[in-house]
Amino acid sequence: MHEGLDPEIHVIIGDGSFLMAPAELATALQHDLKATIIVLDNGGYGSIDALAGEASAGNRFAVPTDFAALASAFGCAGVRAETAGELARALAEARDSDTTTLIHCPTVDGEIPASGAFWDLGVPEPRRPRPPRQRRVV
């Protein structure tokens, strides 16, 4: 967390994670918060794919999302950046802006290597069945 008189907030998030809570754009506007949100778009739930391994199915998006247009629909600035130069310009414009800016960065889809981070979870064990509870007659 940044503390100070004029904090800059930067959020780097994947497209799948962002699609789970795009209404946070409205929250930022309602509370007059300025944030720069960088959406890395690889066309699916990459972290879920990495967790599922060979069992992965249905984690790729069949329909592309225009994240810059989505941000604009919420009243934020929305920009698409496909090159390093476009990203640098978008970041500079976001820094000079008075409102939340979302920068949509399409990325190359590919295998996500294990990170050793908290997403590398073990497989949960099934719950052991409990015997039925006795009904108490009153």
| pLDDT single digits (tens) 31-85 | 888 999 999 998 877 767 666 666 666 677 778 899 999 999 999 999 999 999 9
Residues 79-103 have pLDDT tens digits of: 999 999 999 999 999 999 999 999 9
CATH assignment at residue 43: 3.40.50.970
Q: With residue 104 as reference, give the H or E element that holds it.
A: strand 101-106
- The number of domains in the chain is 1
What was the pLDDT predicted at 136?
72
**Residue 127 is assigned to a structural domain of this protein:** no
In a domain, 46, yes or no: yes
